[in-house]
């Protein structure tokens, strides 16, 4: 009995050693696969499994260094005690076939995976979209018509309005497609551009890593430039009203009014969520509508005959028209943040979504104001139509003050994009403690920067055209076309691809033409106004 018991014990130990060796060999195969081969799923490693190799939907790759595997098993099994070195067959690692996919696999839906802390409704987003577009640019539309002529300007404004709306649509569509491919709930403008360039033609893939920085630079320049214009606009309108109640010797410089605005601008830019700005945006929009009613009252008082106005202006002034209209109508900087903050983002780019329902009245209103403003004031049209209003009438003063309040709210929306770029993209990931304090500090510094440039530059009339031509011809027109081209580069063939390519190429050529002549004309005007006149 004792001898039989010892035999059974040895047999049991032998089985345990064999099982231990097999388990160790399997574990080491997994470890080697993870450490040497870099695969993600340990369960996909197996030792010449016929069940797996017979599956046509699975491809297998052979690990060639079998000798090393065998030596490691000999060294690490049986508690370090040497034993008989067993032969090890070739190890394969399964790889799923990228072509064949199971139909039961659910497609990733970005909109269903977004987690927004303070989502905005359709109406709130619509209000933000209107407020972002109805800025100081619309007040410069009569001057834009003066630079092009009422006939050319009317057609040009409608075309640019359609073009701006279309490029926003293709940008949002490309972002959605790239989010599905990358399995991300949302992307910023720079992230969308980088993802698109990385999937486009081979030459563009090499510069993909630099694209986010380029996008951020243009967006920051545009937002900071816009905020500078807002500060000067608010200050100049308040000054014109206050000056009517002061003696000429007691009137102060416009820079002092900018300084008085600094603290209120800092406080409103401390509002961290767009949802809390929606009530103020609603009030600002109502005030804007009422003030435009007053402006229309003055515009339609004793309107001159249209024959006294130019239908086609000299070509040399046309670039100023292009830059001004583009600056006035383009809201590319706030589009993606607004869409990403929506409770139901599908309603942003649909047929009756926020974008179409906002851009249609905006385009018509811009055309209307530009046409009748130029018809009223002709060659006397100034950079902002408020500067043409009477300075000694209460209604005109009320219109100026109400528009100053509306632009004050717009400043916060424009700075929100600048904060989104500078704080969330670059600074926040590097801050470990007191993040709220540092965010408020960044918001404060951005407001001070806009204030500093506004005080340093006494006249921003030509800078409106410069910013529109320099920043928005790239960010609002050419970049969305290139992003769509890269995103769907491999989706089209034959004539469909030719049409797709030529369409986006045409948009890029229009943007490039506007960029070159717009920047050149604006810079020439600045030099002539600030330097040549002094000589």
Residue matched to tokens 């709306």? 165
Report which of residues 59 and 184 the model is more confident about: 184
Task: Identify the pLDDT of residue 246.
Answer: 86
Average pLDDT, the chain: 79
The mean per-residue pLDDT over the stretch 326-341 comes to 82
Weakest-pLDDT range from 66-75, 147-156, 468-477: 66-75
Contact 511, 332 (CB under 8 A): no
Is the pLDDT at 500 greater than 90? The verdict is: yes
pLDDT in tens, 83-123: 444 433 333 333 343 333 444 457 888 888 888 888 889 99
Is the pLDDT at 193 greater than 90? The verdict is: yes
The mean per-residue pLDDT over the stretch 447-462 comes to 80
Ranges 10-14, 249-253, 375-379, 451-455, most confident: 375-379
Contact 460, 232 (CB under 8 A): yes
Task: Identify the pLDDT of residue 159.
Answer: 94
Contact 329, 137 (CB under 8 A): yes
DSSP string, 40-78: S-GGGEESS-HHHHT-TTEEEEEE--HHHHHHHHHHHSG
Is the pLDDT at 184 greater than 60? The verdict is: yes
Is the pLDDT at 196 greater than 90? The verdict is: yes
* Superfamily of segment(s) 110-532: Amino acid/polyamine transporter I (1.20.1740.10)
pLDDT category of residue 275 using cuts at 50, 70 and 90: confident
Contact 348, 237 (CB under 8 A): no
pLDDT in tens, 214-253: 988 888 888 888 888 889 889 988 998 998 888 888 888 8
Residue 389 CA to chain centroid, in angstroms? 36
| Domain coordinates in residue numbering, the chain | 17-96, 110-532
DSSP for residue 245 = T
């Amino acid at each position: 009995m004792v001898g039989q018991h010892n035999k059974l014990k040895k047999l049991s130990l032998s089985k345990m050693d064999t099982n231990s060796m097999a388990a160790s060999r399997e574990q080491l195969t997994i470890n080697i696969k993870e450490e040497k081969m870099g695969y993600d799923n340990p369960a996909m490693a197996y030792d010449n499994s016929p069940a797996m190799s017979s599956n046509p939907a699975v491809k297998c790759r052979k690990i060639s260094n079998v000798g090393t595997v065998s030596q490691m098993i000999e060294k690490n099994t049986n508690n370090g005690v040497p034993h008989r070195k067993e032969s090890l067959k070739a190890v394969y690692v399964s790889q799923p076939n990228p072509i064949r996919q199971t139909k039961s696999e659910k497609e990733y839906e970005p909109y269903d995976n977004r987690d927004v802390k303070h989502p905005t409704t359709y109406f709130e987003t619509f209000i933000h979209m209107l407020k972002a577009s109805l800025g100081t640019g619309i007040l410069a539309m009569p001057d834009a018509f003066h630079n092009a002529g009422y006939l050319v300007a009317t057609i040009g404004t409608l075309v640019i309005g359609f073009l701006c709306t279309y490029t926003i649509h293709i940008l949002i569509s490309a972002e959605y497609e790239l989010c599905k491919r990358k399995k991300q709930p949302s992307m910023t403008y720079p992230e969308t551009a980088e993802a698109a360039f990385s999937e486009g033609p081979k030459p563009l893939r090499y510069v993909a890593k630099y694209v986010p920085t380029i996008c951020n630079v243009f967006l920051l320049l545009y937002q900071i430039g816009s905020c500078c214009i807002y500060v000067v606009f608010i200050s100049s309108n308040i000054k014109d009203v206050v000056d009517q109640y002061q003696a000429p010797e007691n009137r102060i410089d416009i820079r002092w009014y900018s300084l008085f605005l600094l603290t209120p601008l800092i406080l409103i830019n401390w509002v961290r969520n767009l949802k809390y700005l929606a009530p103020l945006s609603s009030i600002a929009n109502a005030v804007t509508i009422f003030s435009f009613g007053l402006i229309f009252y003055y515009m339609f008082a004793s309107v001159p005959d249209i024959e006294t106005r130019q239908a086609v202006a000299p070509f040399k002034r046309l670039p100023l028209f292009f830059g001004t209209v583009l600056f006035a109508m383009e809201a590319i900087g706030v589009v993606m943040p607004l869409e990403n903050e929506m409770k139901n983002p599908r309603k942003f780019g649909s047929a009756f979504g926020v974008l179409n329902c906002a851009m249609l009245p905006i385009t018509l209103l811009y055309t209307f104001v530009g046409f009748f403003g130029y018809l009223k004031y002709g060659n006397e049209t100034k950079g902002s139509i408020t500067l043409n209003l009477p300075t000694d009438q209460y209604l005109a003063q009320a219109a100026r003050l109400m528009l100053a309040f509306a632009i004050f709210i717009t400043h916060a929306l424009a700075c929100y994009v600048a904060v989104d770029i500078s704080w969330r993209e670059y600074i926040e990931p590097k801050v470990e403690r007191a993040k709220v304090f540092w965010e408020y500090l960044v918001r404060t510094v951005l407001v001070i920067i806009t204030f500093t440039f506004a005080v340093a530059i006494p006249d921003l009339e030509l800078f409106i055209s410069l910013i529109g031509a320099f920043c928005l011809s790239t960010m609002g027109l050419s970049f969305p076309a290139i992003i769509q081209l890269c995103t769907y580069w491999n989706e089209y063939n034959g004539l469909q691809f030719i049409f797709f390519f030529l369409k986006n190429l045409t948009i890029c050529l229009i943007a490039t033409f506007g960029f070159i002549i717009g920047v050149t004309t604006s810079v020439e005007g600045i030099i002539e106004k600030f330097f040549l006149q002094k000589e």
